[in-house]
Amino acid sequence: MAEAATGSSAHMTAGVPPAEAASKPGRKKLDRSIVEGPIGKAVWKIAWPTVLQNAIGGLQGIIDHALVGHFVGFTANAAIGVSWQIFLVVIVFISSLFTGMGVLVARFAGANNHEMVDRTVYQAFLTAFILSVGILAPLGYLLSPSLLELVNATPEVRAEALPFLRIMFLFSIGMLMFFMLGGALRAAGDARTGLYLGVAMTVLNISLNVILIRGAGPIPAFGTKGAAMGTVIASILVSSAAIWMILAGKLVVHFPRSMSWKPDWAIIRALFKFGLPAGFQGVAMNIAGVLMLRFIGSLEHSAEAQAAFAVGYAELFSLITWTSVGLMGAAAAVAGQNLGAGRPDRSERAVHLAARIGLGVAGLVGALFWLIPEQLLAIFGITDPVVVQIGRELLRYLSVSGLFITVALTYTGGLQGTGDTRSPLVITLISQVLIPLSICFTAQAMGTLQSSTVWTAILAGHFARCALSVARFHQGRWRQIAVDVR
């Protein structure tokens, strides 16, 4: 990453002159309003489809938990929560190249270099396919039992979680392709197509899960395993349809038939150069999450606490993180494109606006956590008195924590979208690993570890991440980051 360039140097050397990279007749053009129109409209254009896609997509997780909670029990809730925490540790690292892809695509789109947008996404597609099929599937299947033991899951939870986790690892290709294509289209300025694909996948997933979890007619009830089956089937079908649309030239990203299967090492190196820090960041966060599950597993009512955590943090808190992650994606795309167009002041304004929107949503959802916690938990079949008590306590902490995490994520999007993917890694190691785990380790060593200690550690980590992310963005060093793909 060259640090000597100015904001105007964002018109990258890409091996293709801008005049030759212009869109060919008949192709869907890049949306120039993101770098030329009102900044508020540009942010909203990317944000609302992304936020809505996250919200609708998150419904499948809520429905999974609600179905298994009613038809299997809270042990199944804990199993899904534990499995997803482990699965994300691995898949987030492989998905890191999508962050690098987003940086490159946004810059090239901002510079109106359509040819390099296509080439970048194509190389990300090839790399993700090889990593998923050749590495993630076989290793994930073999290591699943050991990973479940690592998080101190009870024997009952492990029995439910093992088949779920193995299915997710074996057929992860559909989900990886979906994330990659959605991220590529969003970075190129087309967030609506990702929304349509997300809606299709969610509707299909919900339909399959209702049948596979509880059974219907000749189809037996697969229980927790059915939730994984529905997820992978839906993701593979929708991703296949999206790839067909790209090959047919129906989207802003297109894979011409003339493209070679040969790797373009200049682009692949850039993908990992910008993406690997984000990958390590994601792995660090999820390893910290696994260790937090380990602390929760050592509490007196471990299964009940893990069930409350799975529902309260992984699902209900998603009402805040759905919006925050969507705004993070919008901030990254708009900031990256405007830096690519040589307009860093618009990049900064976009991030500030996204953070204000996120605060409004987080405040509203946090109020619900305080006012109706029992009713929210009951949606997932949580009626056990101990689980309800622990869940109510957790939601009160999360009502405050949500304010900090939404600001942290939007400013993280601004940093990553402009190419500064290293700073969020350092910030994450401090705020999401060092601070919360130190609090829990200390309390455990002193024999005072309780559920409230874990929730306090989470809140402290989110506050630190917010403060550090805002401070780093305001330093403005992202303005001097240049992308050079030769």
Q: Which residue has the higher pLDDT, 302 or 229?
A: 229
- Residue 57: name the closest of 264, 278, 326, 243 by CA: 326
Model-level pTM?
A: 0.78
The pLDDT-based confidence of 303 (bands split at 50, 70, 90) is confident
**pLDDT per residue as tens digits for the range 305-340:** 888 888 888 778 888 988 898 899 899 999 999 999
Residue 203 makes CB contacts below 8 A (sequence gap 6+) with none
* Contact assessment for residue 433 and residue 286, using Cβ atoms and an 8 Å cutoff: no
**pLDDT per residue as tens digits for the range 160-183:** 888 889 998 999 898 889 888 988
- Residue 439: name the closest of 453, 420, 426, 425 by CA: 453
Token code pair at residue 475: 């330093």
Question: In the predicted model, is pLDDT for residue 430 greater than 80?
Answer: yes
Which pLDDT score, from 0 to 100, does residue 372 have?
92
**pLDDT per residue as tens digits for the range 215-242:** 777 888 787 888 889 889 999 999 999 9
Token code pair at residue 343: 């307009």
Which pLDDT score, from 0 to 100, does residue 95 have?
74
Which one-letter DSSP state was computed for residue 11?
A: S
Which pLDDT score, from 0 to 100, does residue 472 have?
96
Which pLDDT score, from 0 to 100, does residue 62 have?
66
Least confident of 11-15, 31-35, 475-479: 11-15
Rounded to whole angstroms, the Cα distance separating 258 from 103 reads: 25
**Across the strands, what pairs with 165?**
none
Averaged pLDDT score across all residues of the chain = 84
Which pLDDT score, from 0 to 100, does residue 403 have?
95
**pLDDT per residue as tens digits for the range 75-88:** 777 777 778 777 87
C-alpha distances out from residue 394 to 127, 314, 366, Å: 40, 12, 12
Rounded to whole angstroms, the Cα distance separating 74 from 453 reads: 23
In this prediction, residues 350-363 reach a mean pLDDT of 94
* Contact assessment for residue 93 and residue 279, using Cβ atoms and an 8 Å cutoff: yes
* Contact assessment for residue 94 and residue 176, using Cβ atoms and an 8 Å cutoff: yes
Q: Percentage of residues in the chain with pLDDT exceeding 70?
A: 90
The pLDDT-based confidence of 61 (bands split at 50, 70, 90) is low
Which pLDDT score, from 0 to 100, does residue 19 have?
38
Which pLDDT score, from 0 to 100, does residue 358 have?
93
The pLDDT-based confidence of 23 (bands split at 50, 70, 90) is very low
In this prediction, residues 412-428 reach a mean pLDDT of 93
Rounded to whole angstroms, the Cα distance separating 24 from 45 reads: 25
Quick one: how far is CA 257 from the chain centroid? Answer: 31
Which pLDDT score, from 0 to 100, does residue 58 have?
67
Which pLDDT score, from 0 to 100, does residue 3 have?
37
Alpha-carbon Rg for the chain, nearest whole angstrom, is: 22
Q: Which residue has the higher pLDDT, 65 or 196?
A: 196
Question: In the predicted model, is pLDDT for residue 117 greater than 80?
Answer: yes
Of these ranges, 119-128, 300-309, 348-357, the one predicted with the greatest mean pLDDT is 348-357
Which pLDDT score, from 0 to 100, does residue 27 have?
56
Token code pair at residue 161: 């979680």
